[in-house]
Chain A
């Protein structure tokens, strides 16, 4: 009888130790679309196979919900160990509050630049310290249906005049020239950013998002004059405020709409049959004297300062930074890997990379380059302008009031 008890006790203890030996890494992720979710799952499996002592628990949240939830996790005593996030201002906001763990030890002696291009450094830093581990980046462009362009005999537009001409032809053939879903606001910021970059150039745009230029400046108003040309002729899909970006993309995928200004991740949502008919071109040039500037948002990971398993988190991030892991993620999604040793995974990615390499400067995105509260106000104003272009002056005045309130301090 006693022997049995001892054996049972022994087994229980052994199992207990085995359980203890396995460390948990909690990863909260916004990758809720099926394609990126599966790609991340693959990385986690590879990591666990290589590091049998660790098990990674992935909690996936709907993208839009994640943006508000992160704020509540970071100050918690037991914050998640790793979180997905965006480089630039949105990361710096948390870094400035002391809520993030510095990552310098992840890269070892060789440093950040042994993994990533030095041009990424500033977007991942706050106060000279790295807080953000870049995973992938992508380009924005005007995505279009090649078949519609072909059947109407439209060449890919390079100048603004050609672009307007193309819109006109598409509309007369009773397609929707440009689809967009502004329910979650940020898609409208894509148009604002690009038109500002094309009308006023890079340094003006960065000064504006940094709160240094009044929204009532005539140069800002000029951006809306160009935007207004598209609005006045009804080139945008009707009722765009009713759609999420995916719902609006559906009009492109079903061949009812011809173009969509969007990031490369539109491919995550595109049906297999449509992908080969989906091309992209650079947002047309408005002022030929200005350089070509593009938006290249960088996505990646951070470790909260209150994470429970920081060592595990850093080990995981070291794996994420590796060529192997970055390549696996980029290949599955057709994105560009942040790791500089990874080649563009396909023809489109090569095309995107070439476009960026030929550009004269890159910004992140409106809500990644400016203060969060300013971003909400700005993007609401952009959507209001798209529906009521006559209200432009009062919209810009309100944005200016907001800017003074936020940056005037």
Chain B
């Protein structure tokens, strides 16, 4: 029977149209706007070439935001991924009550970032927040910090809060990956006399490669689009010290009426994020060819 070559495209027509209208077109529109001085309100605007982009690199707040995004990226990929893997390894064994612990660690995943942000703002409140109160009660008053108002530590406090959710997310990804690691192989290695570390390093980890790539990519993308927690907990403050690109873009576009400038920030963020996604896609395509 001869298959109709156009059948798959017919099925794809609706999703592709929706995707074009709601994703592709806005991306190009944002790119066009990034070359303008539009305020988001006027009927007309002027094209000003690369002025927005040039201004960005003299903009102290943008550079702070960019550096903060790098901190988020490092935090997510160097903490969330290994910690998620560690937890997944722990829960993958026959452990009494494993499902109870798994559920507990998975719980933050079910909360939205806005709820997490609000909750942690109370926990981290400098005078009456539970964290500082516990620290003081334990005689560790010296460690009690104004977590959300000290420019030197505020970004790390925010990353810490985000990790609370991100680690459990990574754990789920690795647990799913571990389902594909055949117990027979691990047993065979055991019989051959491989130690626990050897079994992990030379057997399980290579088999987890696809899961690891997904976990790293997802974490990188999540770290670059960080917004909700910052918006709820500090609005990028004090004086922009915890700002990230997404947050600064929002303030410039919607608070300061500089849609053109905000679009330029969005374009830079898009290019960076797209770079990471491209690496991931190329990698996974190569994997399929093999």
Question: Which residues of A come within 8 Å of B, CB atoms?
Answer: 67-68, 71-72, 74-75, 93-94, 97, 99, 182-185, 238-242, 247, 372-373, 376, 380-381, 383-384, 387, 398
Selected from A67, A184, A242, A398, the residue in CB contact (under 8 A) with B126 is A242
Residues of chain A contacted by B256 (CB below 8 angstroms): 372-373, 376
Known interface pairs A239-B126, A398-B60; A383-B237 also in contact (CB < 8 Å): yes
Chain B residues bordering chain A, tally (CB within 8 A)? 28
Provide 22 A-B residue pairs closer than 8 Å at the C-beta atoms, listed in order of the A residue: A67-B255, A68-B250, A71-B41, A71-B254, A74-B41, A75-B40, A75-B41, A94-B41, A97-B39, A182-B237, A182-B238, A183-B234, A183-B235, A183-B237, A239-B150, A240-B149, A242-B149, A376-B255, A376-B256, A380-B237, A384-B239, A387-B151
Complexed CA–CA distance, A97 and B39 (Å):
10
Complexed CA–CA distance, A168 and B116 (Å):
40
Residues of chain A contacted by B228 (CB below 8 angstroms): none
Selected from A68, A97, A247, the residue in CB contact (under 8 A) with B255 is A68
Complexed CA–CA distance, A14 and B124 (Å):
59
Closest beta carbon of chain B to A387's beta carbon, Å:
6
Interface string of B28-40 (1 = CB under 8 A from A): 0000000000011
Complexed CA–CA distance, A381 and B238 (Å):
10
Q: Is the CB of B146 within 8 A of A239?
A: yes
Known interface pairs A67-B255, A373-B256, A373-B258; A99-B41 also in contact (CB < 8 Å): yes
Complexed CA–CA distance, A380 and B237 (Å):
8
Specify the chain A residue showing the minimal Cβ separation from B60. Answer: A398
Does B53 count as interface, using CB distance less than 8 angstroms? no
Selected from B127, B235, B257, B258, the residue in CB contact (under 8 A) with A239 is B127
Complexed CA–CA distance, A93 and B41 (Å):
10
Q: Is the CB of B41 within 8 A of A185?
A: no
Q: Is the CB of A93 within 8 A of B238?
A: no
Known interface pairs A239-B126, A240-B149; A72-B239 also in contact (CB < 8 Å): no
Complexed CA–CA distance, A239 and B151 (Å):
11
Q: Is the CB of B237 within 8 A of A185?
A: yes
Residues of chain B contacted by A373 (CB below 8 angstroms): 256-258
Q: Is the CB of B257 within 8 A of A384?
A: no
Question: Which residues of B come within 8 Å of A, CB atoms?
Answer: 39-42, 60, 124-127, 146-151, 234-235, 237-240, 250-251, 254-258
Complexed CA–CA distance, A335 and B110 (Å):
44
Q: Is the CB of B41 within 8 A of A241?
A: no
Which of A72, A183, A240, A383 counts the most chain B CB atoms within 10 A?
A: A183
Selected from B60, B147, B251, B257, the residue in CB contact (under 8 A) with A71 is B257
Complexed CA–CA distance, A94 and B257 (Å):
11
Q: Is the CB of B238 within 8 A of A387?
A: yes
Specify the chain B residue showing the minimal Cβ separation from A376. Answer: B256
Q: Is the CB of A97 within 8 A of B149?
A: no
Closest beta carbon of chain B to A394's beta carbon, Å:
10
Complexed CA–CA distance, A258 and B42 (Å):
47
Q: Is the CB of B257 within 8 A of A241?
A: no
Residues of chain B contacted by A242 (CB below 8 angstroms): 124-126, 146-149
Q: Is the CB of A383 within 8 A of B254?
A: no
Complexed CA–CA distance, A149 and B227 (Å):
44
Known interface pairs A383-B238, A383-B239, A384-B238; A239-B41 also in contact (CB < 8 Å): no
Specify the chain B residue showing the minimal Cβ separation from A99. Answer: B41
**Closest 5 A-B residue pairs measured CB to CB?**
A241-B238, A241-B149, A239-B146, A242-B149, A373-B256
Specify the chain B residue showing the minimal Cβ separation from A250. Answer: B128
Complexed CA–CA distance, A387 and B237 (Å):
12
Q: Is the CB of A381 within 8 A of B239?
A: yes
Residues of chain B contacted by A387 (CB below 8 angstroms): 149, 151, 238-239
Specify the chain A residue showing the minimal Cβ separation from B61. Answer: A380
Residues of chain A contacted by B255 (CB below 8 angstroms): 67-68, 372, 376
Residues of chain A contacted by B254 (CB below 8 angstroms): 68, 71-72
Closest beta carbon of chain A to B241's beta carbon, Å:
9
Known interface pairs A68-B254, A373-B256, A373-B258; A380-B239 also in contact (CB < 8 Å): yes
Specify the chain B residue showing the minimal Cβ separation from A93. Answer: B257
Q: Is the CB of B151 within 8 A of A71?
A: no
Residues of chain A contacted by B235 (CB below 8 angstroms): 183-184
Q: Is the CB of A97 within 8 A of B238?
A: no
Closest beta carbon of chain A to B71's beta carbon, Å:
19
Complexed CA–CA distance, A67 and B240 (Å):
19
Residues of chain B contacted by A247 (CB below 8 angstroms): 125
Specify the chain B residue showing the minimal Cβ separation from A254. Answer: B128
Residues of chain A contacted by B41 (CB below 8 angstroms): 71, 74-75, 94, 97, 99
Closest beta carbon of chain B to A392's beta carbon, Å:
13
Specify the chain A residue showing the minimal Cβ separation from B234. Answer: A183
Complexed CA–CA distance, A298 and B42 (Å):
26
Q: Is the CB of A238 within 8 A of B126?
A: yes
Known: A183-B235, A384-B239. 12 other contacts (CB 8 A): A67-B255, A71-B41, A75-B40, A239-B149, A241-B148, A241-B149, A242-B125, A247-B125, A376-B255, A376-B256, A381-B239, A387-B149
